[in-house]
Structure 1
Amino acid sequence: MNATSATPAERDRAAPGSARILVWDVPVRVFHWLIVLCFAGAYLTAERESWRLVHVTLGYTMAGLVVFRLLWGVMGTRHARFSNFVRGPGAVMDYVRSALGGRTQHYAGHNPAGAIAIVALLALALAVTASGWATYQDTGGEWLEEFHEAAANIMLGVVGFHIAGVLLGSWLHRDNLIGAMITGRKTGRPEDGVRRAWRSVGILMLVAVFGFWWTQWNSAPTGGDNGPAAVSGKAARQVQDDD
């Protein structure tokens, strides 16, 4: 390879001492795939009343996951912290220009452009879950329900851009970024890796989520032969008034 024409990412891979390093700890990976599951499941069940319990449960789970990610973004490992990857507009523009010029800058964690998608998705997830909770409690009226749907659709669009960015980044850096979010490992310098995977925290996350799901199912009002069924606060009050 001609060193004068190699991209920074290619030089990083070719440099002596480069290896497969641990970048994403277990809590980050568990959060990522659980949030994927929750958003996809909640979005697909939004219009079906018979799946209301699933929709609400996944929405509440997503809210809890976002709260955890905000805390882990301050307390977590190196590449999980917001201070490590959230940068100003100048850094974002430099990264975009380098990508367009074929000289893509390499980052062990999230690149500056990807960081925008991460922050946007977290903010939208909070907006979706908060408006969904208020709608479920019948406290906001029809406009809030419309806001909830609009925020979910915008979030879906940002997810699409995020996936496109991941695929593009995988091609530019010749590194499987989707696989990295499964294994936690990317190609890089050993000094850029994290020392601990924090598997115990990831296991606790799964226990908490599955425990919450079990509680939701077993504490929900029964819907006759169809099993547990979720009802809004307004509907529950109407049933009590009828009695």
Structure 2
Amino acid sequence: MATGKVKVWDFPVRLFHWSLVTMFATAYFTSGDAEAPHQWAGYVALALVAFRIVWGFIGTPHARFADFVPRPATLATYFGLLVRGREPRHVGHNPVAAVMIVFLLAMVAMIGSTGWLMTTDWGWGNEAVETLHAGAVKLALAAIAFHVAAAVFESVRHRENLVLSMLTGYKRR
């Protein structure tokens, strides 16, 4: 391509990403007063995670887990280079970002599953389920803050606007 850009994030990945951001924020900000929007946002978030897991196996090359989920040795090597300020730029997700994606998918699945359980006869009023739900939300919020900070750091470090990339789908070659 003459522009020096390459398509990395396909439309389904970008739609998933921003839809999940919207559903998580909706569920979070309606958790106290608006039970129906809170629950529906949680159900949609669960459906989005299910979609992303499927897309991670059948989607376009950069969307596939096989393309970006690292082996432990690859993650350790990358992390060592990152700590020394010598990490390479990746066209797709770097190994640390890949681990964050898997973690966030797991947290949203845990939040949605425990939220659903709290609507069942078995889970309603179950303190352990409520504690697990609230704890997963807190962990997810911390991970989201780290994810955003890391995206800003990497954008500055590699002179590339990653937020714009997640909107347009393109990164520099």
Q: TM-score range by the shorter chain?
A: over 0.9
| Higher RCO structure, 1 or 2 (CA under 8 Å, sep 6+) | 1
Higher deviation after alignment, 19-28 or 146-155? 146-155
The answer on 1:150 being equivalent to 2:135 is: yes
TM-score, length-normalised on structure 1? 0.68
The answer on 1:172 being equivalent to 2:157 is: yes
Number of equivalent positions: 170
Residue number among 107, 123, 139 corresponding to 1:124 in the alignment? 107
Map of 1:87 onto structure 2: 70
Aligned AA for 1:136?
Answer: T
- CA RMSD in angstroms, aligned pairs only: 1.3
Quick one: distance in 1 between partners of 2:106 and 2:84? Answer: 31
Aligned AA for 1:116?
Answer: V
Map of 1:185 onto structure 2: 170
| Structure 1: segments with no counterpart, 5+ residues | 1-16, 189-243
Aligned AA for 1:46?
Answer: S
Matched ranges for 1:15-30 at <5 A: 19-30=4-15
Question: 1:179, CA displacement in angstroms?
Answer: 0.6
Map of 2:84 onto structure 1: 101
Quick one: distance in 1 between partners of 2:28 and 2:162? Answer: 25
Quick one: distance in 1 between partners of 2:121 and 2:148? Answer: 34
Q: What secondary structure sits across from 1:110 in the alignment?
A: coil
| Structure 2: segments with no counterpart, 5+ residues | none
Q: What secondary structure sits across from 2:118 in the alignment?
A: helix
Higher deviation after alignment, 95-104 or 71-80? 95-104
Map of 1:34 onto structure 2: 19
The answer as to whether partners of 1:45 and 1:54 remain within 8 angstroms in 2 is yes
Quick one: distance in 2 between partners of 1:102 and 1:143? Answer: 42
Question: 1:20, CA displacement in angstroms?
Answer: 1.1
TM-score, length-normalised on structure 2? 0.94
Matched ranges for 1:205-224 at <5 A: none
Identity of aligned residues (%): 39
Question: 1:149, CA displacement in angstroms?
Answer: 1.0
Question: 1:18, CA displacement in angstroms?
Answer: 7.7
The answer as to whether partners of 1:132 and 1:148 remain within 8 angstroms in 2 is yes
Quick one: distance in 1 between partners of 2:10 and 2:30? Answer: 31
Question: 1:119, CA displacement in angstroms?
Answer: 0.2
Quick one: distance in 2 between partners of 1:127 and 1:74? Answer: 21
Question: 1:163, CA displacement in angstroms?
Answer: 0.8
Deviation by residue 1:60-91 (Cα, 9 ceiling, x = unmatched):
00000000000000000011000000012221
